[in-house]
Structure 1
Amino acid sequence: MTIRTVSRRKFQLGAAALALSILATGCGAPGGSGGNEQVTLRFAWWGNEYLNAQTEKVITAFEAKHPNINIESEPGEWSSYWDKLATKTAANDAPDVIQMDQKYIAEYGGRGALLDLGKQDGIDTSKLDKEALASGQYDGAQYGLSTGQNAYVIMANTKVFEAAGVPLPDDTTWTWDDFMETASKISAAGDGKNYGAAYGSNEADLIIWLRQHGENLYSADGKLDFDTATAASFWERLEEQRDSKASPPATVATEDSGAGLEESLFGTNRVGMAWWWTNQLGSLESTTGSSIKMLRAPSIDGSAADNGMYYKPTMFWSASSRSKHPDEAATFINYLTNSPEAGAILMTDRGVPTNPEIVESITPDLKPADTTVVSFLKDIAPDMKDAPPVPPVGAGSVQNVIKRYTDEVLYDRLTPQAAAEAFKKEVEGMLSSARK
């Protein structure tokens, strides 16, 4: 999902304290309550008002079926969620059930802070997509269950395309040259008010670019797995978007990165193309009042099979290894993952469910945008490759580093080659420090 990035310094400090705490105390979780003893589970997640209301609804439905389990809500916002979670975990006060992001599966699981869900009898994984299951595994343990699948795509605002008189591209055959030409035409028609494309400086942008070159951001053993020259070519392309005026000037892009969706260039119909996750289609259409067309990533050779795209879990359900009620936590996670009742409430707002039976049960009630997403994810399946390796311990803030070096390039403070070299050196240091 497209998100605003924030400083992770407090998280890194909290994670270090967490590691020391776990080493000192051990990480085995106490046993479940057993029987029908009344227990309370704390449940933390991030989201907006709509997602919060939806989550409260599914909690109420679960409690009605499990009257001995009370769920205590701990909703939060992305901007502060991880700092709070790190602080609570380091203080041995983590929530029992945790909404988790893939970039932190290894950070928390690898430090012993998450429960191995694969060892919980109360969780049925037999019907779940196997690749989605693997995406929540680290070092042989199942630290998270995917809430639903997603893909990182270019969202094309048809209102902006029509105003510019530019046709939508054929996303099954388009190249990066086609992308640049299309964006430049929209910007030219916009006369300095509208722009063709936003910059893609998300971690997923870099991953897709590297995969198109036969490389990856991380290897399976948790090391960097790309050539500096390939990373440099990523920033060279963003620099070309700026210089060709396919994308906004650096100052405009910086201001836009700090805006909410409603005030952003895309949200106010001032940019034709931007990178988003598929589960955001509905909110994008609602905000813009425009029909949004999802497009596959451009490729180097014009082959959709070589565009580097992959399915990614929107987020995960995880549980604390220090929970006093691991059995009940497993029961709740199993309900969220496999219950048709929960599926009917959660729908596809946290991604398209990885249990095909849940997808089938909710399909008749999906909103038009959600039906479009389900169909799109199915259509691109033949060209999708295996997901990239799970980010290793120490990689939680790499996305911030990518964004920072993107700014350095766009403001001409570093060349793409210098940015690539500095980026690789900095991230190698982060991963090395985390392994100590």
Structure 2
Amino acid sequence: MSSGKKMWSATLLATAVLAVTAACGSDSGGESADGKVKVRFSYWGSDARQKMTEEAIKKFEAKNPNIDIEGEFSDFGSYYETLATKVAGNDAPDVITIEIRGLREYAERGALADLAGKVNATDIDAKVLATGAIDGKQYAIPTGVNAFSLVVNPDLVEKNGQKLPDDAKWTWEDYIDLASKITAESGGKVFGTQQSFNPGYLEIFAAQRGEKFYQGNKLGISPDTLKAWWSNMQTLIKTKGTPDAAKSVEIGAQSVDQSLLGTNTGAMGMWWSNQLGAINKASGQDVSLLRMPKAEGAATGGMFLQPAMLYTASSKSEHPAEAAKFIDFMINDPEAGEIILSDRGLPASSKVLAAVKEKLPETDIKTLDFIDEVRSELSDPPAAPPKGASGMEDILTRYSEEILFGRMTPDDAAQKFLTEANASIAG
């Protein structure tokens, strides 16, 4: 997941994928100059991801000398707009990387192929695999899994006179109190935590109150839950557990590297578990994962596994068999797994995970151990959200910022957010 970065425009995407149904023929795929089958593969990420992906592609091509994989790489900020434009122009890549919140947008408009029976998925947890299915068709295969979690720098907690919480028991009140005490003890040099506007956070918070984020083509979250969620944000600012509104919004728009945890100016924060390594590297500290705090008396902690990303294939590909073969390689081949490791989440294939476990960096082993520890407590992974959900993070962040700056009350914001958010997913 993007963790605060902006997704594609829902309007642009809708327009783009609608064009698929009107297009004739396809420019996807084709042949390379040397007569090999050309399969185009789109993905986003860092320079490090591009380097390891190119290495995996070379390994696949060595095993399949008649197939030429053409990587189409970009940074995350431009990825979805570029992809939507290609789909609209009937120039979709054969293999497309996508996040779960945009899956239904493409699948229900006919842009994706059904991969059932074409990619071996026997070693993927059935509940995780189901996140890539819509209306009985397996449009996407999870690359790997992660969980939205509380990340902590134990050293900063203890240096500022506090103890790590018992995360099997702690509440939101405990979390706010700990954050405030850390800031106070440090004299404001280190904040206890930072604000998060990620829908994953709200999804967990709502589940603890017996509510689903999505209920069909509308939100299942009540105004009271939204108000309680925003109240925690306001209390953190009031008690100085986080920076003020202006600084919190500024930090929220930054990458992990520039987060409070990443710069050693904050002791806690909420992130997807596969980001632990990046935080560890940026901070130079030994950071750890904790369970999310829980509402008093909640029957569930609300945490869940989610695909870090998914591989899909264009329904217009001229080479569907070769596209599926490449996806199968990236998901199931231990040699690919040894190259990619946990870059796209802890490998979804249990066999690949077992094969590469000893080669995983220490932080990834820590993440794996944490997920194994909490696995029995996790809720089922949520299904692909409705069309229009790709813009949910932007909408949620906007209303959260209005509240933190005092320009709207939680009462007003709750009703307006629900109205706007429901309108965005109604179609």
Q: Per the shorter chain, which TM-score range?
A: over 0.9
In structure 2, C-alpha distance between the alignment counterparts of 1:409 and 1:30, rounded to whole Å? 46
* 1-structure distance, mates of 2:381, 2:157: 32
8 Å CA contact 2:208, 2:301 repeated in 1: yes
Give distance in 1, aligned partners of 2:141 and 2:223. Answer: 34
Distance 2:169 2:24 in 1: 54
Shift of 1:17: 3.8
Query: What secondary structure sits across from 1:59 in the alignment?
Result: helix
Which residue in 1 is equivalent to 2:243?
248
What secondary structure is seen at the aligned counterpart in 1 of 2:267? strand
Worse-superposed segment, 110-119 or 308-317:
110-119
Q: Does 1:217 align with 2:213?
A: yes
- Residue by residue over 1:361-419, the C-alpha shift from the partner in whole angstroms, topping out at 9 and shown as x without a partner, is 11122211111111111110111111223211111110111111110110011111211
1:257 is displaced (CA, Å) by 2.3
Q: Where does residue 380 of structure 2 map in the other structure?
A: 386
The structure 1 residue matched to 2:257, chosen from 241, 250, 262, is: 262
Partners of 2:376 and 2:341 in 1: CA distance: 24
Corresponding residue number in structure 1 for 2:120: 124
Map residues 317-356 of structure 1 onto 2, 5 A cutoff. Answer: 317-356=311-350
Matched with 1:5 is: 5
Provide the identity percentage: 37
State the 1:302 CA deviation: 6.6
Which of 161, 166, 171 is residue 170 of structure 1 equivalent to? 166
Mapped partners of 2:25, 2:264: distance in 1: 50
Q: What is the RMSD of the two structures over their aligned residues, measured on CA atoms?
A: 2.1
Aligned residues, how many?
425
Pairwise CA distance, 1:139 = 2.1
Alpha-carbon distance between aligned partners in 1 of 2:46 and 2:7, rounded to the nearest angstrom? 20
Measure the CA separation in 2 of the matches of 1:158 and 1:277.
Answer: 18
CA distance in 2, matches of 1:106, 1:45: 18
CA distance in 2, matches of 1:63, 1:31: 15
1:245 shift after superposition: 1.3
> Aligned partners of 2:4, 2:41: CA distance in 1, in Å?
23
- Pick the aligned partner of 2:47 from 46, 49, 52: 49
Conserved? CA contact 2:30–2:37, under 8 Å:
no
Q: TM-score, normalising length from structure 2?
A: 0.95
Letter in 1 for 2:277: G
Does residue 194 (structure 1) correspond to residue 193 (structure 2)? The answer is: no
Do the aligned residues in 1 keep the contact of 2:193 with 2:260 (CA within 8 Å)? no
Q: What is the match of residue 103 of structure 2?
A: 105
- Report the residue type matching 1:97 in the other structure: V
How do 1:299-310 and structure 2 match up within 5 A? 299-301=294-296, 306-310=300-304
Q: CA deviation at 1:15?
A: 2.2
The aligned residue for residue 18 of structure 1 is 17
Q: Distance in 2 between matches of 1:397 and 1:380?
A: 30
Which is further off, 323-332 or 367-376?
A: 367-376
Shift in alpha-carbon separation, 1:7–1:291, aligned structure 2, 3 A: closer
CA distance in 2, matches of 1:7, 1:282: 23
Distance 1:263 1:358 in 2: 32
In structure 2, the gaps of 5 or more residues are: none
Shift of 1:89: 0.7
Farther-moved stretch of structure 1 (396-405 vs 384-393)? 384-393
In structure 1, what residue type is equivalent to 2:17?
A: L
For 1:421 and 1:374, how far apart are their aligned partners in 2? 39
Is the CA contact 2:7–2:80 (under 8 Å) kept in the aligned structure 1? Answer: no
SS at match of 2:192: strand
Amino acid at match of 2:305: Y
Contact persistence 1:343–1:358 (CA under 8 A): yes
Query: Which AA in structure 1 matches 2:229?
Result: F
- Provide Cα deviations, 1:187-208, integer angstroms capped at 9, x if missing partner: 1122233211111210101101
Q: Which residue of 2 aligns with 1:361?
A: 355
Which structure 2 residues correspond to residues 413-432 of structure 1 after superposition, within 5 A?
413-432=407-426
Equivalent residue in structure 1 for 2:228, among 220, 223, 233 = 233
TM-score relative to the length of structure 1: 0.93
TM-fit CA distance, 1:2: 5.0
Q: Which runs of 5+ in 1 are unaligned?
A: none
Residues 27 and 113 in structure 1, CA contact (< 8 A), matched pair in contact too: no
The 1:150–1:371 alpha-carbon spacing in structure 2 relative to 1, beyond 3 Å, is: same
Contact 1:2 1:276 in 2 (8 A): no
Task: Give the match for residue 290 of structure 1.
Answer: 285
1:372 aligned to which of 366, 369, 373:
366
Q: Which amino acid aligns with 1:6?
A: K
